[in-house]
Structure 1
C-alpha cells in the first residue's frame, strides 16, 4: 500500500518524496535477519544528547547498509516510479541522475570497470589508504612537539583564525590547523580551571581531550539540555567530581544553546576560544570547523585602572554583557575573573545572540542588528561596494517564509550589506546573496560519506516550504586547502568584491541561517525577537591597521608568500560554484539508496 507522495517544483526541478512501504524495504540491511535489521536498538544511540539528524548518523555508522546489496534488488524504487517521463531534471530526492553516477571517479581511476568490480577495487584501495593514513597522520592526531604548536600559532597571525585538523587528508593541509587537544595543551598555558559552552556534549570524550594532568581541574559546562536529555548529561558527568553543569535558560520554544566557547584560566593568564565545533568526536575528526583563539591575556597589575584592560573593539565589555545574560552565579565568578585580566590586545568584535525580546537601545545588542550596528559604526562605504556580493555559509537552515521578502532580504541582508552610514542604494545596485550549503553529492563523496549529513539537519518538511531559497545555493568547494571532502560545519559570513580579490569583513560564528539564531522583527520593527544563544567574532580590516579598509583574499591559506597582514585566509574557494541543474541541497530525513557513498553505503535515516 502506498501513502501519498509530496512534491514541490523549484528552479532546480522537482522534488519527489516517497514514504511508501516499498521504499522502506530498501532501507533494510539484507545481510541481517528481518527481526534485527528493521529495528535499531537503543545501544546505537549516542551517549550524549544531540539532534535527531546526528542520532540517525550514529545509527548508520553502527549499522551501515551496503549499496551492493540494495543494488541487487531488481524492484524499481517507488521514488523512481513517481518520476514523470517528462521530468528530465527531476529532483527525485532518493534517485537523481547525478546521484546515480558511480564513485569510480572518486575512488577508482579505471572508469571502465563494472559496478561490482569498482566497489571491490574502491574497498581495497580504501583499506590500503586507511593503513597508510594511520601511519602518516599519527603525529597529527594529538599535539605535536613544542615547535609544531607554536608554529601553528604563528601561521594564524595576525588574525588568530584557524581551521580544525582533519584526519585523512595530506599532512600539509593540517599544517596550520588545530585539534582540541592542541588548544588544551600545556604548551598554551598551565591550566587551572575552564568553562566549556556548547550545544552537543560528550562528557567522557571531552575529559579525555584534556591532558592527563588537567583532567581533575575544575570544569564548568554550560548547556541547554532539558528533561530526559538533561538527565543523561548529568548521568554522564556523575563519575567526574571536578565537572559542574550549568543549564542555560531556554524559556522560548525552539531555542537552543548553540554557543561554542571555551574560557581557559591559566596560571599565566586567561584565554578565550570561540569556535564552531560540538564537543564530540565527529566534529573534530573529519569536518572543517573554524576557531578564533585569543591572545594569552595577562593579569592586570595591582592598582591599575580596570578600564586599562579594555580593547578598542570593546571586547571585554561585550563578553561580560553576554555572560551576564545567563544570570548564573557560576558565570558571575568568571565575570570577576575576566575583570582581573587585560584584554586590550583583542582586535575582533563580539557578535552574540541571547534569547529574549528587545526594544529601544537593547534592540541592537544582539543578533543581526548587533552586526549591523558594528558595521555601521566601524566601516566606511566602498566605491562601487553596493554591488559586492554577500556570502553566507552554514550547516543548518531554518524556516525563511514564503519568499525572500519575509526575512532573508527585508532583515538579514539589510544588516549584512551595511557599510558605514552612507545612504542605502536601491534597485539594480542590490548586492547578490550567495549561500554555501553542501549538495547531496558533496555529502555522498565526503570522507565520512552519507553519515556526514547528520551534521546538516535541514529537514524535508522545511525544505518543501521554501524551494525558492535553493536558487541561492552554491556547492561546498575547498580544493586549495585540501578540504573539499571534509564537510563544513563552520559558519561564516562575509562580503567579497565581484572579482573575488578583496573582502570588506569576515565573521565566524555558531549562528546558522535562521531567525531563531539571528533574530527577527516584531511589532512593526520596534522589537527584536531571538530564540537561541549564539556567539561569533567579526574581523574588520580597520581593527588590524589595514589602511585600505579591505582585506585581500588569501587564496591558498597555507601559502607563506602572500602578505599576511592584508590577506585573510578564506576557508572556501572563490569564486563560488553555483548548484548545477541536477544538484539539490542535502536533506537529512529522506533516503538516498541509488548510489553508494565513499564507504559503499546507502542512507536510510530511519
Structure 2
C-alpha cells in the first residue's frame, strides 16, 4: 500500500519537520518516520498484498518460476505494433490480472512488453522510482533476458538489500534518493531504455516497481517513440522537440548530481527528441522564483503551460483531478485546494471569465468502491487517505466522485494512476499523467521568501502534459467516436462521472490497520 507523508500546514523556511501526531499534517505517499506504528502497518500491507512473495532471483533456474512473476502472458514481438497503433497519444494502462478483458485490450500492457524485442535490443537501462522490490524487478529482467545488462536504479524507499545489490550483481547499481526536506519523498516513476543501435526511449509511469502495483491496480504509462541518435556533426540545439522535452529531461536528471547518470546525460544530448509531442513536468525539492517562463516546477509550471498553450476554455468546463491520495487541505477550501491549486489549473480560461473559478471534480474511490474491488478492502492498499485528516475537511465530500471505469474494465481495479484534465461536451482540452497526488507535497505551495512570492516543492515528481496544439494540431481532443476531428483520447474513467451520495465517504486506510 502507499505510505503516508506528513507536511505541517504552518511550514516555514525555518521549520522543516515531521510529527506523526501533529493535527496540521497532510499525507501523500510516505511517512519518513518508521517509528510510527500506523505507517509501519501501511508499509507491511503495501509490500505484502494478497500475493505470495516472489522467489529469490537466485532460485530462478527454469521456466517453472515464471508464473510467480508474470501474471498476464501476452505474445512476444507485438509491442512495436501496439505502440504504433496507439499514436499520437502513446498512452497505456496496465493489464489487470483479475480482469481478462484488459489482457487483450490494445491500450493495455504488461511490464514485460516494455522490454519486448520488437521495441529494440536493450543495451542498458535506468529505473527511477519510489518503492522497488528487488526480487520482483530482477525477476522481470531475468525473464525478459536482460538480467546481465547494466541497470541503474534510483529509489526513494529504503528496504531489502538494494543498497548492497551490486555485491551480488555487479552490473546493477542502486542509489537511495533522499529529498532535501525530511518530509519529502522521491516519488517519480520513470524509465530510460538504451538500445544497441544507439537509440533510446523514455517511459513515464505511475507504477512502483513491485508486484502489487502491476497486478490489480489501475496504472498509466506514456511511452516515447524510439529516439534515434543524432549525426555526429549536428549542432547542440538540433533534435529538440517542440515541447522542449529533452531540455526539461536534462534539467531533471541533472538535479540528482550522480556521476552514474553522466553517460545518460551525454547520450540524451546527442539524441533526436523531435518526435516527442508532450511536455515533461516535474517537481524537484527546493524553493523557486518566478521567471519569464513562470515557475519551473509544480503547479506553478502547470499554470504557465496552460496559459501559454491551452485553447481558451469557457468557465463552465470543470477541472477534473483523479489521484490515489488526498492531502490535508485544511478547514477552509480556499487555503490551497480552491485557492492556489485551482487558480493554476484553471489557466487557459477565457480572460473575461477568470473572475470566478471553474468547478473542481475530484475522483477518489469511496469505501464501497474499494470493498467491491478485485481484492476487497485490501484493494485500498494504494489509497493512504486517513480518517483523522478527513474529519477536519468533511467539506471535501462536496467535490468527490466515485471510481467508475466499466468501459475500460477497471471499476474493480483501484486506481494508483494520477490524472488531471479539463473537458466539456466531449471535448478534452488538455490532459496530465503524473506521479503527483492531489496534495501540497505533490504539487508544491506558494510562500514568501525574502519578500518574494516563491513556490516550495517538497517531493520529486514527474509527469507528462498532452496539449491538442502539439499532439493532434487541433483545439481539443475528441472524447467520443461521434466526433472524428481527432482520434478519440483514451480516458480511463466513465463519463458522466458518478457523484458521491450523502451516504458515501472516501476510503480511509485506517480500516486496514484494525
Using the size of structure 1 for normalisation, the TM-score is 0.71
Pick closer, same or farther for the CA change 1:302–1:471 going to 2, 3 Å.
same
Distance 1:321 1:336 in 2: 13
- Partner residue, 1:353: 283
Which aligned pairs between 1:109-508 and structure 2 lie closer than 5 A? 141-146=72-77, 148-171=78-101, 174-176=104-106, 177-210=108-141, 211-225=143-157, 229=158, 232-235=161-164, 238-268=167-197, 269-361=199-291, 364-382=295-313, 385-419=314-348, 422=351, 425-427=354-356, 430-497=357-424, 499=425, 501-508=426-433
Deviations 1:109-133 (A, max 9, x none): xxxxxxxxxxxxxxxxxxxxxxxxx
Pick closer, same or farther for the CA change 1:331–1:421 going to 2, 3 Å.
farther
Distance 1:462 1:474 in 2: 18
Pick closer, same or farther for the CA change 1:207–1:62 going to 2, 3 Å.
closer
Q: Secondary structure at the match of 2:510?
A: coil
- Partner residue, 2:453: 526
- Partner residue, 1:13: none
Pick closer, same or farther for the CA change 1:482–1:545 going to 2, 3 Å.
closer
TM-superposed CA distance for 1:303, in Å, is 0.5
Pick closer, same or farther for the CA change 1:142–1:554 going to 2, 3 Å.
farther
Distance 2:41 2:286 in 1: 26
Distance 2:499 2:271 in 1: 46
CA contact (8 A) 2:112 2:144 kept: no
Q: Secondary structure at the match of 2:222?
A: strand
Deviations 1:570-598 (A, max 9, x none): 110111100112111110123xxxxxxxx
Q: Which moved more, 1:458-467 or 1:359-368?
A: 359-368
Q: Secondary structure at the match of 2:238?
A: helix
Structure 1 gaps of 5+ residues are 1-44, 64-137, 556-560, 591-603
- Partner residue, 2:478: 552
Distance 1:331 1:230 in 2: 22
Pick closer, same or farther for the CA change 1:354–1:139 going to 2, 3 Å.
closer
Q: Secondary structure at the match of 1:309?
A: coil
Q: Secondary structure at the match of 1:575?
A: coil
Distance 1:424 1:195 in 2: 45
Deviations 1:247-305 (A, max 9, x none): 32412021000000000000131000001000001111111110000000001012112
- Partner residue, 2:494: 573
Distance 1:401 1:241 in 2: 48
Q: Secondary structure at the match of 2:123?
A: strand
CA contact (8 A) 1:312 1:347 kept: yes
- Partner residue, 2:513: 605
CA contact (8 A) 1:397 1:514 kept: yes
Which aligned pairs between 1:57-96 and structure 2 lie closer than 5 A? 61=50
Using the size of structure 2 for normalisation, the TM-score is 0.83
CA contact (8 A) 1:276 1:491 kept: yes
Structure 2 gaps of 5+ residues are 1-33, 53-68
TM-superposed CA distance for 1:235, in Å, is 4.7
TM-superposed CA distance for 1:175, in Å, is 1.9
Pick closer, same or farther for the CA change 1:339–1:420 going to 2, 3 Å.
farther
Distance 2:298 2:42 in 1: 26
Pick closer, same or farther for the CA change 1:155–1:288 going to 2, 3 Å.
farther
Distance 2:202 2:232 in 1: 22
TM-superposed CA distance for 1:52, in Å, is 4.4
TM-superposed CA distance for 1:337, in Å, is 1.1
Distance 1:419 1:277 in 2: 30
Pick closer, same or farther for the CA change 1:562–1:415 going to 2, 3 Å.
same
TM-superposed CA distance for 1:58, in Å, is 5.2
